Chains A and B, each alone.
Chain A
Amino acid sequence: MNPLRKGLLDSLPIVIGYLPIAFSFGLSATQAGLSAGLAVAISALVFAGGSQFVLLGMMTAGGGLLGIVGTVLLMNGRHLLYGRTIAEHLPIGHTTLSRPLLAFGLTDEVFATAIGKIHAIAPFSRPHWLLGLQTGAYLAWVGGTVLGALTGAEVARRLPLVVDMLTFVLPALFLSLLLSLDWRHQRVPVLVSLLATPAMMYVFPASAAIPACIVLGASCALFGRKSNV
Chain B
Amino acid sequence: MSDSITTVFIVVLCGAGTFLFRLLPMLRNAERPANPNVVRFTQAVGPAAIAALLAAMLMPFFETGASVQIHSRGIAAVASLLVTASMHRRFGGIAIPTVCGTICYGFLTLVI
Contacts and interface: CB of A to CB of B under 8 A. Distances in A.
Q: Do A and B bind each other?
A: yes
A175 B47 contact: no
A47 interface: yes
Contacts of B59: 198, 201
A83 B45 contact: no
B25 A83 contact: yes
Interface in A176-229: 176-181, 183, 186, 189-198, 201, 206, 209-210, 213-214, 216-222, 226-229
Interface in A65-93: 65, 68-69, 72-73, 76-88, 92
A173 B42 CA distance: 22
Interface residues of A, number: 100
Q: Interface centre among B22, B41, B50, B106, by most A CB within 10 Å?
A: B50
Nearest to A35: B3
Is chain B's interface secondary structure helix, strand, loop, or mixed overall? helix
Given A218-B41, A228-B43, A171 B22 contact: no
Nearest to B101: A172
A130 to B, nearest CB: 11
Given A104-B23, A193-B51, 7 more contacts: A35-B3, A81-B49, A106-B22, A108-B49, A172-B84, A214-B52, A221-B41
The 7 A-B pairs of least Cβ separation, nearest first, read: A165-B106, A217-B48, A45-B15, A172-B101, A115-B46, A221-B44, A83-B25
23 contacts: A17-B98, A37-B3, A38-B11, A45-B14, A47-B15, A55-B10, A79-B21, A82-B45, A83-B21, A83-B25, A88-B39, A104-B22, A167-B105, A169-B102, A171-B77, A176-B94, A181-B46, A193-B52, A196-B52, A210-B56, A216-B48, A221-B41, A221-B43
